[in-house]
Amino acid sequence: MSGRRSSGLAAKATIFAALGDETRLSLLAKLGKGQRYSISQLAEGTKLTRQGVTKHLQVLERAHMVHAKRAGRENLFELDPKPIQELSEYLDMVSKQWDAALARLKAFVESKHS
Amino acid sequence: MENRIEKRIEIAAPILSVWQALTDSRQFGEWFQVKMDGPFVAGEAVGGQLTFPGYEHLRMEIVIQAIKPNSYFSYTWHPYAVDPKVDYSQEIPTLVEFRLEQIPEGTLLLVTESGFDKLPRERYTDAFRMNTRGWEQQMESIRGYVGKTF
């Protein structure tokens, strides 16, 4: 067995960081329609340049929310919904743990008090 | 997406009773299901052995941030940092805050846990995998506990 592995906080963009930007949210909304888009298609109808789109896609790729697929001369980008699903399931799990713990707290205090 | 969890619960008991259940580490352990090594002291870390069914082999550590008698108690920790193979020390911990208010029915307790935006993605997957089985057991334990009390 190797040693403890670091969870690598510094190296990785978090999902919240990736989500914390209106431009990226609008890119995600477009990608969320379920198709693959080229950088030009993503820039279309926005004020973004191709470089601007590329920069934001890189952030999303680092958070594993978007994957690039090679198609001929260009890359096509598609959404991976898994990170957001996992995050939402995680917060749901933590939330339920709190519900359970606070129900135990209430029972504990009220039984002592009554 | 929200990066914090907020809970509120009304407890039919005076503030002092709730306060003690939160800040007396032995009482805290009764409902949080952990046997703490020592008392809660502001600014100090304290560890404990879980007594949560199925997780008795695991330890947790919290750092007490603030203790303002009968009104506010907070600590930081690495939520569900239960994989001994992972070094969590580089992660930014989440902050857990308890606020108490007197109400006619007894005590209103507000709990927030914040800072999930700083957690790396691996934690979502690891923690979730680890807890899906435990959650069923915990529900059983609560039903048993509450059933006994009332």
Nearest one of A85, A88, A72, A90 to A32, comparing CA atoms = A85
Give how far B20 is from chain A: nearest CA, Å.
Answer: 9
The answer to whether the CB atoms of A105 and B125 lie below 8 A apart is: no
Q: How far is CA B39 from CA B19, B66, B96, in A?
A: 14, 13, 17
| Arithmetic mean of pLDDT, B96-125 | 88
| Lowest-confidence segment of A81-85, A100-104, B6-10 by average pLDDT | A81-85
pLDDT tens by residue, B51-75: 988 888 888 899 999 999 999 999 9
- Per CB-CB distance under 8 Å, the chain A contacts of B24 are none
List the single residue in B3, B27, B33 with the smallest CB-CB distance to A16.
B3
3-class secondary structure per residue, chain B: CCCEEEEEEEECCCHHHHHHHHHCHHHHHHHHCEEECCCCCCCCEEEEEECCCCCCCCEEEEEEEEEECCCEEEEEECCCCCCCCEECCCCCCEEEEEEEEEECCEEEEEEEEECHHHCCHHHHHHHHHHHHHHHHHHHHHHHHHHHHHC
DSSP H helical ranges for chain A: 15-19, 22-31, 39-43, 50-62, 82-113
B93 interfacial to chain A (CB closer than 8 Å):
no
Sequence letter at residue A77 = F
Give how far A73 is from chain B: nearest CA, Å.
Answer: 32
Greater confidence (B67 vs B143) lies with: B67
Q: Which CATH architecture describes the domain A10-80?
A: Orthogonal Bundle (1.10)
Q: Tell me the CATH number at B19.
A: 3.30.530.20
Residue matched to tokens 């809970």? B7
> A18: nearest CA in chain B?
B117
- Per CB-CB distance under 8 Å, the chain A contacts of B150 are 107, 111
Chain B from 38 to 77: CB within 8 A of any A CB: none
The answer to whether the CB atoms of B109 and A102 lie below 8 A apart is: yes
Complex ipTM over 0.85: no
- Per CB-CB distance under 8 Å, the chain B contacts of A92 are none
Q: Do B48 and B29 contact (CB within 8 A), yes or no?
A: yes
Task: Categorize the per-residue pLDDT at A22 as very low, low, confident or very high, splitting at 50, 70 and 90.
Answer: confident
Q: Count of domains in chain B? A: 1
Task: Categorize the per-residue pLDDT at A102 as very low, low, confident or very high, splitting at 50, 70 and 90.
Answer: very high
B103 interfacial to chain A (CB closer than 8 Å):
no
Q: How far apart are CA A43 and CA B37, in angstroms?
A: 57
Supply the pTM of this predicted model.
Answer: 0.76
The answer to whether the CB atoms of A107 and B150 lie below 8 A apart is: yes
B32 interfacial to chain A (CB closer than 8 Å):
yes
Quote the domain boundaries for residue B103.
4-149
Please state whether beta strands A66-71 and A74-79 pair in parallel, antiparallel, or not at all (unpaired). Answer: antiparallel
Give how far B117 is from chain A: nearest CA, Å.
Answer: 5
B130 interfacial to chain A (CB closer than 8 Å):
no
List the single residue in B87, B111, B121 with the smallest CB-CB distance to A64.
B121
- Both tokens of B86, joined, read 């992972």
pLDDT tens by residue, A29-78: 889 888 899 999 999 989 999 999 999 999 999 888 899 999 898 899 99
Please give the pLDDT value at position A58. 93
Please give the pLDDT value at position B141. 52
Greater confidence (A99 vs B85) lies with: A99
